[in-house]
């Protein structure tokens, strides 16, 4: 049964999802949080927007050759959180991720802002001490602290590094950050070269040492170019397009994704609704791509 102390499951539901986890292999949950957003807020509306627009999508993905109708997945709803306390939100994310894994489900988290990722990572490393993190993002997110908060969304990857036993992050598509952040990524060889419209040879080469490693895939939607996805609080020109995302997933199909998240959708910034549709399509692809933990 759903743990009603963790989730509010009275809102919209993602296309084809169940409310009961029986016979499911994937557990979706939302985190309606944007307490540390540093430019435009609104990511707290992201999870519900993804659910609401999902019914406009077909269930079949021609690139992956898979259909959502062949998958069983549960949408638990969104976490009950204290929106004024970033530390308690991260702890709630950890508890929710623990709960989903204990139910023998693969977690997919919908944000919300990027600071929530460290909570999921903290839960996962207890099961997977060799976990590595792949980050699709416009921003490095490696600051030690930002605006007086160590748990700001600008510090998301640094907080994950603090937790990961292997200290390994592969950062793909980063095009914004401080001089110090880019120097750090270069020294640690964790910034992977990948260009819009290009191939994924460098990405695959970077992944090869981790062919047997469990992977957490975090997708900050500002990775996409703002001409495709303007509905995000910190847009960065020079980003990526849908075909680029399909190239990434095509590369990752040979590897072991054990959990994932989609963050930083601010649907009210984009009145067209296209940003929410792109995010929903990302979720459709992830449901077809993550591996069953059972």
Which of helix, strand or coil describes residue 15? Answer: coil
Lowest mean pLDDT among 84-88, 193-197, 224-228, 267-271: 84-88
pTM of the model: 0.94
Say if 212 falls within a structural domain: yes
Say if 1 falls within a structural domain: no
Q: At what angle do helices 274-289 and 46-53 cross, to 10 degrees?
A: 80
Say if 151 falls within a structural domain: yes
Going by the annotation, the residues of the binding site for Mn(2+) are 114, 137, 139, 141, 220, 222
Q: Strand pairing of 73-79 and 7-8? A: antiparallel
Domain CATH code at residue 85: 3.40.800.10
Structurally, the chain folds into a number of domains equal to 1
Query: What is the C-alpha separation between 37 and 51, in angstroms, rounded?
Result: 22
pLDDT of the residue at 151: 67
Query: What is the C-alpha separation between 73 and 25, in angstroms, rounded?
Result: 6
pLDDT digits (tens, 9 = 90+) for 246-272: 999 999 998 999 999 999 999 999 999
Lowest mean pLDDT among 9-13, 119-123, 185-189, 289-293: 289-293
The strand ranges marked E within 66-175 are: 66-67, 73-79, 106-111, 132-136, 169-172
Say if 183 falls within a structural domain: yes
Residue 86 has pLDDT above 90, yes or no: no
pLDDT of the residue at 2: 46
pLDDT band at 149 (very low <50, low <70, confident <90, very high): low
Mean pLDDT, residues 66-93 taken together: 91
Query: What is the C-alpha separation between 118 and 141, in angstroms, rounded?
Result: 12
pLDDT of the residue at 82: 82
pLDDT band at 1 (very low <50, low <70, confident <90, very high): very low
Q: Which residues of 249-263 are buried (b: 16+ CB within 10 A; e: fewer)?
A: bebbeebebbbbbbb
Say if 23 falls within a structural domain: yes
Q: Which residue has the higher pLDDT, 11 or 156?
A: 156
Q: Which residue has the tokens 């609401």?
A: 52
pLDDT band at 146 (very low <50, low <70, confident <90, very high): low
Going by the annotation, the residues of the binding site are 114, 137, 139, 141, 220, 222
Provide the domain limits for residue 230: 7-289
Q: Phi and psi (nearest 5°) for 165? A: -60, -40
Residue 153 has pLDDT above 80, yes or no: no
pLDDT of the residue at 34: 77
pLDDT digits (tens, 9 = 90+) for 24-76: 999 999 999 876 666 667 889 999 999 999 999 999 999 999 999 999 999 99
pLDDT band at 293 (very low <50, low <70, confident <90, very high): very low
Give 210's DSSP letter. G
pLDDT band at 8 (very low <50, low <70, confident <90, very high): confident
Say if 29 falls within a structural domain: yes
pLDDT of the residue at 80: 87
SS3 content of the chain, % helix, strand, coil (to 5): 40, 20, 40
pLDDT of the residue at 21: 94
pLDDT band at 3 (very low <50, low <70, confident <90, very high): low
Query: What is the C-alpha separation between 253 and 200, in angstroms, rounded?
Result: 13
Within 8 A by CB and 6+ apart from 82, the residues are 88, 89, 92
Query: What is the C-alpha separation between 244 and 74, in angstroms, rounded?
Result: 28
138, two tokens: 């416009």
Query: What is the C-alpha separation between 213 and 224, in angstroms, rounded?
Result: 26
Within 8 A by CB and 6+ apart from 186, the residues are none
Say if 213 falls within a structural domain: yes
Q: Phi and psi (nearest 5°) for 293? A: -80, -10
Say if 2 falls within a structural domain: no
Mean pLDDT, residues 192-206 taken together: 93
pLDDT of the residue at 267: 96
Radius of gyration of the chain (CA): 17
């Amino acid at each position: 049964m759903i743990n009603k102390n963790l989730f509010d499951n009275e809102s919209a539901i993602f296309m084809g999802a169940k409310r009961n986890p029986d016979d499911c292999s994937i557990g979706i949950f939302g985190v309606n949080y944007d307490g540390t957003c540093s430019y435009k807020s609104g990511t707290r509306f992201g999870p519900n927007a993804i659910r609401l627009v999902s019914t406009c999508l077909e269930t079949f993905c021609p690139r992956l050759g898979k259909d959502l109708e062949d998958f069983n997945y549960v949408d638990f709803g969104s976490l009950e959180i204290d929106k004024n306390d970033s530390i308690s939100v991260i702890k709630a994310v950890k508890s929710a991720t623990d709960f989903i894994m204990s139910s023998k489900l693969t977690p997919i988290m919908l944000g919300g802002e990027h600071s929530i990722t460290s909570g999921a990572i903290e839960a996962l490393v207890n099961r997977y001490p060799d976990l590595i993190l792949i980050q699709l993002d416009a921003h490095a997110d490696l600051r030690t602290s930002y605006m007086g908060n160590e748990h700001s969304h600008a510090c998301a990857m640094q907080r994950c590094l603090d937790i990961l036993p292997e200290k390994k992050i592969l950062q793909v598509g980063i095009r914004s950050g401080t001089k110090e952040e880019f120097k750090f990524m270069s020294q640690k060889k964790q910034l992977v070269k990948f260009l819009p419209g290009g191939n994924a040879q460098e990405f695959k080469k970077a992944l090869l040492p981790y062919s047997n490693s469990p992977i957490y895939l975090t997708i900050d939607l500002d990775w996409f170019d703002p001409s495709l996805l303007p509905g995000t609080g910190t847009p960065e020109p020079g980003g990526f397009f849908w075909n680029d995302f399909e190239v990434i997933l095509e590369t990752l199909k040979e590897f072991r994704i054990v959990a994932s998240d989609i963050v930083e959708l601010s649907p009210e910034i984009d009145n067209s609704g296209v940003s929410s549709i792109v995010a929903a399509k990302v979720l459709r692809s992830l449901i077809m791509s993550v591996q069953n933990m059972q």
